């Protein structure tokens, strides 16, 4: 096929082309996985790629993605441990590594003992499959979400983490998704099932070993039963030409606690949809940082759904936008009828480093209960001259002062990452990106 | 202390400055010699803090007339960071909080930047740690302060101690302390004052900007100046501060006006 044709291909053709990868999938052992895929394929028939006319995509034009000539991953890149050593996090014990979306067993270290499972879906035994089935594809709704449907239709390898009742996994689990090929589409999939009273720290990490254009379309589902505790850090550091459109659906059970930090640094266009559903007395902390420059666009859509009473939610989302980059934040907090004594606080804070940088932020509160404590707010600004002056007055040049303050603005989020090695790594990356050197 | 043969550190002549087009400083004259401690007092809005910020180089203030010579150099030819490196130090009335940056990191960065400019030795993190801990003893600061973010969550007293710690590290020729006593309880005031007294030497000069005489019980000034409507209208010794404490500021302005009418 010629390049010209690929450029003119309409968005619907884009989906069809991607689905051409479908017949090549291995049939996975559990039949219900095939049924799930088939259901997603049917749904896709009714869906189209969103445009600027869709309210949820009004600031994020993904037509450059639909003009890409993407192919399915046909040959798996054979990576050696040394080639990915730079991504190794010392304080993690188990790691599942996916290369262009394909599970790489020789690079991974799984864990299957005492009912714990940290492994690829295909290795699940009958009992494990029975645990997984009620969750996979059940939290991330794909009936109206074209990208979640696409991921589900092409679902193959799945990072599965099952933490049984009252088990605490002391060391964080590292899921590493490495992009090694240009012009390919990959569909990472994660499922975390935290049974009641369990506790786990999950790192979802998207990186690249090349700087070409590619498409990553991940979906993550996290289910917390009652009294569970999940700390979830998601880092998107794809190449700056990449397209990254990801979904994460979290269901937080009674009196459970979900803490999330998501950081978007890479990609030409990135979109992250995070939906958190809170049961009675559940608590979530949902923090985010987008640090972008050049002509990057980073769009974060979050929804926190207080479906039942006594829930607590906290959200701090920050964007640092340089060059002519564009950050988008849409944060919805929904308090359903009957969700009394909900306590919610949401804050969107944005730093524009240049005159051409742009941010569109929309914190939204929808309250249908009367006994609630909800607050939200948004600020957009530049570095404070008084702060710069304070640092100047201590001998620091203007550029060092500005870099340090920019770093500090972002560090408020990255400091919340519960994994020291990752926090340090991102700190250094931020210093590089903001140009400071304390 | 006043030394007979001291050289001027700062010479301000006819200084005028505006902020947002409003003139705040209206022809200010002021001279400080090495070794001296000066107090600038005056009512709210008299221009004390503006004067302090103009000396440090805050960009919100525009100098419209007059001159400031710092150690023989035209101060206005220097950017704020160059003034700091040359030895001008301003202790802020409201120190800025910088969440995400460890105090130790910030202090070392400032120290090394200034040291490098002065052609002196920079310290690596371990050397600096020893050095700063020694200085912190001067201000009875717990080593915890090093690990915390710059000024974040510090009490008023802790912020002011952190300011004087920076003064101790940067070893300025001219230290301007802007309302360093505000927000301090009596113990913190004593500790901060003791720190400043220990740092005062024949090689530097200190300018205290304050509303209240209270501070001057602890840091005894050689000169007390009264500022009103953007000018210094009276200068005396430490007894002037006591007189202001008992009589207020109005009489000074009235005397000044009367003198102006007579002349």
pLDDT of residue A436 exceeding 60: no
pLDDT of residue A28 exceeding 90: no
Determine the pLDDT at residue A437.
Answer: 42
Please name the residues in contact with A364: beta carbons below 8 A apart, sequence gap of 6 or more. Answer: A330, A331, A332, A333, A376
CB nearest to B170's CB, from A387, A395, A398? A395
Distance CA B9, CA B203 (A): 10
Give the B-side interface with A, CB within 8 Å: 56-60, 79-81, 83-85, 89-90, 92, 95-96, 98-101, 105-106, 108-110, 113-114, 117, 149, 166, 170
User: How far is C-alpha B240 from the geometric centre of its chain's CA atoms?
Assistant: 20
Interface contact flag, B81 A405, Cβ < 8 Å:
no
Distance CA A325, CA A346 (A): 24
pLDDT of residue B101 exceeding 90: no
* Torsion sign across C-alpha atoms A409, A410, A411, A413: positive
Q: Give the residue from A287, A320, A387, A393 with the most B CB atoms within 10 Å of its CB, the best one to mutate.
A: A393
Please name the residues in contact with A93: beta carbons below 8 A apart, sequence gap of 6 or more. Answer: A109, A111, A170, A171, A172
pLDDT of residue A29 exceeding 80: no
Closest residue, chain A, to B87 (C-alpha) = A395
CB nearest to A405's CB, from B60, B79, B98? B98
CB of A396 less than 8 A from some CB of B = yes
User: How does residue A4 score in pLDDT terms, banded at 50, 70 and 90?
Assistant: very low
CB of A397 less than 8 A from some CB of B = yes
| Nearest Cα residue to B161 out of B129, B209, B130, B194 | B194
pLDDT of residue A273 exceeding 90: yes
Determine the pLDDT at residue A26.
Answer: 65
Distance CA B114, CA A396 (A): 8
The Cα of A419 is separated from the nearest Cα of chain B by a number of Å equal to 16
> Beta strand A116-120 with A111-113: parallel, antiparallel or unpaired?
antiparallel
Closest residue, chain B, to A389 (C-alpha) = B58
Structural domains of chain B ordered from first start = 8-96+173-262 (3.40.50.300)
The Cα of A397 is separated from the nearest Cα of chain B by a number of Å equal to 6
User: How does residue A24 score in pLDDT terms, banded at 50, 70 and 90?
Assistant: low
pLDDT of residue A10 exceeding 70: no
Angle between helix A398-414 and B103-117 (nearest 10): 170
Let me know the angle formed at the C-alpha of B136 by B92 and B220, rounded to the nearest 5 degrees: 60
Distance CA A30, CA A123 (A): 11
pLDDT of residue A5 exceeding 70: no
| Nearest Cα residue to A238 out of A259, A199, A212 | A212
Please name the residues in contact with A401: beta carbons below 8 A apart, sequence gap of 6 or more. Answer: A387, A388, A391, A392, B81
Residues of chain A in contact with residue B109, where contact means CB-CB under 8 angstroms, are: 396, 400, 404, 438
Q: Which of A281-290, A298-307, B36-45, B98-107 has the lowest mean pLDDT?
A: B98-107
Both structure tokens of B237: 């010794």
**pLDDT tens profile A226-242:** 999 999 999 999 999 99
Interface contact flag, A438 B110, Cβ < 8 Å:
no
pLDDT of residue B261 exceeding 80: no
Interface contact flag, A438 B60, Cβ < 8 Å:
no
Determine the pLDDT at residue B183.
Answer: 85
CB of A382 less than 8 A from some CB of B = no
CB nearest to A395's CB, from B84, B92, B98? B84
The label of the residue with tokens 């979906």 reads: A219
pLDDT of residue B100 exceeding 50: yes
Determine the pLDDT at residue A7.
Answer: 41
CB-CB contact of A132 with A124 (8 Å) = yes
Give percent above pLDDT 70 in chain A: 95
Residues of chain A in contact with residue B170, where contact means CB-CB under 8 angstroms, are: 394-395
Cα-based distances in Å from B259 to B30, B236, B237: 19, 16, 20
CB of A407 less than 8 A from some CB of B = yes
Q: Which of A172-176, A243-247, B179-183, B224-228 has the lowest mean pLDDT?
A: B179-183
If one compares B44 and B164, the residue with the highest pLDDT of the two is B164
pLDDT of residue A109 exceeding 90: yes
Interface contact flag, B100 A397, Cβ < 8 Å:
no
Give the mean pLDDT of chain B: 94
Please name the residues in contact with A242: beta carbons below 8 A apart, sequence gap of 6 or more. Answer: A179, A208, A213, A214, A215, A216, A266, A267, A268, A270
User: How does residue A14 score in pLDDT terms, banded at 50, 70 and 90?
Assistant: confident
Which whole number is the average pLDDT over A420-427?
93
Q: What is the ipTM of this complex?
A: 0.95
CB of A113 less than 8 A from some CB of B = no
> pTM for this one?
0.88
Determine the pLDDT at residue A1.
Answer: 38
CB nearest to A415's CB, from B56, B85, B100? B100
**pLDDT tens profile B168-178:** 999 999 999 99
**pLDDT tens profile B251-260:** 888 888 888 7
CB-count burial class (<10 Å; 0-12, 13-18, 19+) for B172:
buried
Residues of chain A in contact with residue B113, where contact means CB-CB under 8 angstroms, are: 394-397, 400
Determine the pLDDT at residue B263.
Answer: 64
Which whole number is the average pLDDT over A37-53?
93
Give the mean pLDDT of chain A: 92
User: How does residue A9 score in pLDDT terms, banded at 50, 70 and 90?
Assistant: very low
Please name the residues in contact with B135: beta carbons below 8 A apart, sequence gap of 6 or more. Answer: B165, B168, B169
Domain boundaries defined on chain A: 3-279, 386-438
pLDDT of residue A71 exceeding 70: yes
**pLDDT tens profile A375-411:** 999 999 999 999 999 999 999 999 999 999 999 999 9
């Amino acid at each position: 096929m010629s390049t010209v044709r690929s450029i003119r291909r309409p968005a619907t053709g884009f989906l069809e082309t991607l689905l051409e990868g479908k017949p090549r999938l291995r049939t996975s052992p559990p039949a219900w996985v095939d049924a799930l895929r088939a259901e997603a394929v049917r749904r896709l028939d009714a869906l189209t790629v969103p445009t600027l006319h869709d309210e949820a995509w009004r600031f994020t034009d993904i037509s450059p993605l639909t003009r890409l000539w993407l192919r399915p991953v046909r040959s798996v890149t054979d990576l050696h441990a040394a080639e990915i050593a730079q991504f190794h996090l010392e304080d993690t014990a188990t790691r599942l590594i996916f290369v262009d979306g394909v599970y790489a067993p020789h690079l991974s270290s799984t864990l299957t003992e005492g009912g714990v499972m940290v492994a690829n879906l295909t290795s699940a035994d009958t009992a494990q499959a029975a645990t997984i089935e009620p969750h996979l594809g059940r939290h991330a709704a794909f009936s109206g979400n074209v990208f979640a449907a696409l991921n589900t239709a092409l679902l193959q390898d799945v990072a599965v983490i099952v933490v049984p009742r009252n088990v605490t996994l002391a060391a964080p689990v590292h899921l590493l998704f490495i992009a090694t090929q240009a012009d390919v589409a990959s569909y990472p999939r994660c499922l975390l099932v935290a049974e009641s009273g369990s506790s786990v720290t999950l790192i979802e990490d998207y990186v690249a070993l090349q700087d070409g254009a590619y498409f990553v379309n991940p979906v993550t589902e996290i289910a917390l039963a009652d009294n569970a505790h999940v700390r979830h850090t998601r880092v998107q550091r794809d190449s700056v030409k990449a397209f990254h459109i990801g979904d994460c659906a979290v269901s937080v059970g009674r009196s459970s606690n979900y803490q999330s930090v998501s950081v978007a640094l890479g990609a030409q266009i990135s979109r992250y949809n995070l939906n958190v559903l809170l049961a009675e007395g559940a608590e979530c902390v949902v923090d985010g940082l987008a640090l972008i420059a050049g002509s990057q666009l980073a769009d974060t859509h979050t929804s926190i759904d207080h479906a039942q009473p006594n829930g607590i939610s906290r959200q701090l989302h920050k964007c640092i936008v340089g060059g002519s980059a564009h950050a988008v934040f849409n944060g919805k907090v929904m308090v359903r009828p009957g969700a009394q004594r909900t306590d919610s606080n949401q804050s969107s804070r944005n730093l524009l480093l240049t005159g051409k940088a742009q941010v569109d932020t929309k914190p939204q509160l929808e309250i249908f209960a009367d006994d609630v404590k909800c607050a939200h707010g948004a600020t957009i600004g530049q570095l404070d001259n008084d702060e710069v002056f304070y640092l100047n007055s201590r001998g620091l040049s203007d550029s060092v002062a500005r870099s340090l303050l920019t770093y500090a603005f972002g560090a408020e989020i990255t400091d919340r990452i519960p994994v020291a090695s990752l926090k340090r790594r991102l700190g250094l990356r931020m210093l590089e990106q903001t140009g400071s050197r304390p | 202390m006043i030394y007979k043969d001291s050289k001027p550190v700062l010479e301000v002549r006819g200084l005028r400055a505006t902020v947002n087009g409003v003139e705040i400083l209206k022809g200010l004259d002021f001279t400080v010699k090495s070794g001296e401690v000066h107090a600038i007092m005056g009512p709210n809005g008299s221009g004390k803090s503006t004067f302090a910020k103009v000396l440090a180089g805050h960009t919100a203030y525009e100098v419209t007339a007059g001159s400031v010579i710092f150690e023989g150099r035209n101060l206005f030819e220097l950017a704020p960071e160059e003034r700091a490196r040359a030895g001008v130090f301003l202790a802020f009335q409201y120190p800025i909080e910088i969440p995400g940056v460890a105090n130790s990191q910030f202090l070392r960065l400032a120290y090394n930047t200034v040291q490098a400019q002065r052609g002196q030795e920079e310290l690596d993190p371990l050397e600096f740690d020893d050095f700063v801990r020694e200085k912190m003893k001067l201000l009875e600061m717990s080593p915890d302060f090093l690990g915390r973010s710059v000024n974040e969550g510090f009490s008023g007293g802790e912020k002011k101690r952190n300011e004087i710690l920076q003064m101790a590290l940067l070893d300025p020729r001219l230290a301007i302390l802007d309302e360093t006593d505000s927000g301090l309880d009596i113990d913190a005031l004593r500790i901060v004052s003791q720190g400043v007294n220990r740092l005062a030497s024949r090689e530097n000069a200190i300018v205290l900007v304050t509303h209240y005489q209270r501070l001057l019980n602890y840091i005894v000034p050689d000169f007390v100046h009264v500022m009103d409507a953007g000018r210094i209208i009276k200068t005396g010794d430490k007894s002037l501060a006591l007189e202001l404490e008992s009589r207020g500021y109005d009489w000074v302005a009235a005397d000044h006006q009367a003198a102006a009418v007579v002349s």
